[in-house]
Structure 1
Amino acid sequence: MGVKEEINQYESQDPGLGTAYQKSVKRILNEDGSYNIKRIGTIRLLKDFYKYLVELNAWKFGFFLVGSFLIANLFFAGIYCWIGTEHLHGINPNQNAFIAAYYFSAQTFTTVGYGAIAPVGNLTSFIAAMEAFVGLIAFAIATGLIYGRFSRPSTKIAFSHNVIITPHKDKMALMFKIVNQRNSVLLNTKVHVLLSLVNENPDTHVVNRKYFNIPLEVDFVRYFPLTWTLVHVINDDSPLYDMSLSEVREKLAELLIIIEAFDETYSQTVVRKHSYAEHQWATGVKFKKNFSADDTGIIVLNINEISDLEVLS
């Protein structure tokens, strides 16, 4: 069986990322695992606002909560001023009327009610009652969002910055490293690797993308407390066989990685996606070892050194 036929046996069907394009495209996955795809016609933000808020990064989410609270109280304070602050009993005459109405709104919204200021008249009392109701609903929603964010399983698996092609056991091999940044131990960790290579038809200029399953020396471990170097031996069967680094980059090679593991903290399976492409391919180097035993026999792991490389001698 020839080399070409051997390679074809590792060729994979379209995993759902497309195979034919009218022009060259960028990498499919970004380094953080997000899809590099612009979607048109999806559900609008207002219809999927919960998902947006749950996935929003921490500082933006905090800004949203604080901003919503301030805006809501500005709205109700404006209503109280429009009705007339004379209907708010207990306002200090030396205090700005709008500021006093704002503080009264904040107390009503949070149902604190210090009692220094009280609504007078049916209309003002009705507005205060409605604000208290809105406040209860708002805090219930905020609590649900915060719970959803904290209870959502996530991984903190770090990847080496580069994927390298380096000598290994008298052959060449593709390697990258991963490590769990949390103190918890991931169990039953499985790694799936897919290689994407691009070829352009010189006649039609259609760009065809092919996918290959990349077998690893070890793709499953029961325990994952240390750094794990994933190795794919580049033998005659490999789609990377006899390809130089420049050829790899010319074919817009992209390594698509999915990691599945059981997280003992969440007691459920977690998934992490990652991609290597473009400048992240390297050769002529090897990974430095980033763990060792100290004088007491304890293994010391330096997570910050996961991407450290050294030039081959």
Structure 2
Amino acid sequence: RYRRARFSSRRVRRRVVFKQGDCNVVQGRVAKRRRKYLQDIFTTLVDAQWRWTLLVFALNFLLSWLGFAAIWWLIVYTHGDLDPTVADNSTWVPCVRDVKSFTSCFLFSVETQHTIGYGAKHTTEECPEAIFVMCLQSIAGVMIQAFMVGIVFAKLSRPKKRTQTLLFSRNAVICQRDGQLCLMFRVGDMRKSHIIEAHVRAQLISKKVTREGEVLPFYQQELRVGGDGEEDRIFFIWPTTIVHKITPESPLYTFSAADMLRHRFEIVVILEGVIESTGMTTQARSSYLPSEILWGHRFEPLVSFKKETGEHEVDYSLFNNTYEVDTPLCSAQSLDQLIGLNSSNSNGLKYPVGGSSTSATPDLTSMESNSMLCDKENSMQHIILHPTDIPGPESRI
């Protein structure tokens, strides 16, 4: 049975990871699913919703009390302690004193399991089986208590909740940095306790058809990302802009601004690190669709220095803000070709000053080649425009 869609049909988008980090994946038609979940009952209860965990917590104790109460009732019943005639016999030694009904057995079971010990009810040396059951229930009570407390503690201390204070920018942007087209997004941490050994990963998920004709609907390609576009580890003390340089090794190398609207892909970004206060590893996720990538935008600075206090202040109201910058609308591949074309044309055609008549005549082959390069350059001049000159994924925030 499949769960219902989280969004209405108009808002459903084919994404693998939601913006808040949940994976849009449902495991269906798993053979012996329930048995496998019960074999790993601890993880099942930790991952379950709180209402189910608390229900199992309460049922464990209640059923153990009732189960041992039934055992105590059988012991005193077979020994004859429930017979009304033995109440007046002063020489009669019962298995458990002051137990006269199933309710008394239930109360004695609770007292034994949790070592309450009010003092009125206690076992005697008359019945060895009663002594054995008392020891057995004491051990079982400790095991049940340790198991359930461990589940609740593990559920409360899960690093998953730490991801609620780790932020990803609403949009990714593409602009130039040091003459290189780059894909950038921003990550931030609201807490004062930092993430140690923080590192970032990014993957592009898209459809691919192999040379043999095999269709890979969710082909994953790693994107090289980092604070400088090279190293994935970051010093995460304030919001950091993560950079992916669109080089020939990048899957985005052939994508132009118009291609961003035509292609279907998803960029999944992952932030991992160790929580400073607990020492546990946490992972935060988000994703960007082509419609969430702004071409020709750059993030606004949000860290400033306050002279009054001598502190660096982070303004999280600017976390998602971007502004437009002049950016080539062509792909990084076309931009590299254009730069190479301009550098070759800057050399010009050099003709010899003296010599024979043949040497004074320009090389027709070179002139024809240069003319073709110039025509190609002129045809590509329209590529470098302002981002607002054509409709595309660029927009203002």
TM-score (norm 1): 0.65
- 1:90 paired to 2:80: no
Deviates more, 1:43-52 or 1:73-82: 73-82
- One-letter identity of the residue aligned with 1:213: E
Matches within 5 A, 1:145-184: 145=151, 156-157=162-163, 158-160=166-168, 162-169=170-177, 173-184=182-193
Deviation at 1:176, TM superposition (A): 2.6
SS at match of 1:195: strand
- 1:104 paired to 2:103: no
- One-letter identity of the residue aligned with 2:396: L
Query: What is residue 68 of structure 2 aligned with on the other side?
Result: 76
Identity %: 19
- Larger-Rg structure: 2
Query: What is residue 37 of structure 2 aligned with on the other side?
Result: 45
Deviates more, 1:302-311 or 1:258-267: 302-311
What stretches of structure 2 of length at least 5 have no aligned partner?
1-12, 83-94, 324-394
- One-letter identity of the residue aligned with 2:312: I
CA distance in 1, matches of 2:142, 2:63: 16
The 1:209/1:111 distance shift into structure 2, 3 A limit, reads: same
TM-score (norm 2): 0.54
String of CA shifts for 1:263-291, please: whole Å, max 9, x gaps: 444557x3525241559724377656555
Query: What is residue 224 of structure 1 aligned with on the other side?
Result: 236
- 1:246 paired to 2:264: no
SS at match of 1:156: helix
Is the Cα–Cα contact under 8 Å of residues 163 and 276 in structure 1 kept in the other structure? Answer: no
The equivalent position to 1:135 in structure 2, one of 131, 141, 161, is: 141
Deviates more, 1:233-242 or 1:182-191: 233-242
What stretches of structure 1 of length at least 5 have no aligned partner?
1-24
Is the Cα–Cα contact under 8 Å of residues 162 and 280 in structure 1 kept in the other structure? Answer: no
Bigger proportion of residues as strand: 1
CA distance in 1, matches of 2:302, 2:69: 59
Is the Cα–Cα contact under 8 Å of residues 187 and 222 in structure 1 kept in the other structure? Answer: no
- 1:299 paired to 2:312: yes
String of CA shifts for 1:206-225, please: whole Å, max 9, x gaps: 45444333233434445211
The equivalent position to 2:25 in structure 1, one of 30, 36, 54, is: 36
The 1:62/1:233 distance shift into structure 2, 3 A limit, reads: same
Query: What is residue 7 of structure 1 aligned with on the other side?
Result: none
The 1:150/1:177 distance shift into structure 2, 3 A limit, reads: same
Deviation at 1:164, TM superposition (A): 2.3
Is the Cα–Cα contact under 8 Å of residues 196 and 256 in structure 1 kept in the other structure? Answer: yes
- 1:274 paired to 2:285: yes
Bigger proportion of residues as helix: 2
The 1:68/1:304 distance shift into structure 2, 3 A limit, reads: farther
Deviation at 1:309, TM superposition (A): 6.8
SS at match of 2:235: strand
Query: What is residue 196 of structure 1 aligned with on the other side?
Result: 205
Is the Cα–Cα contact under 8 Å of residues 185 and 223 in structure 1 kept in the other structure? Answer: no
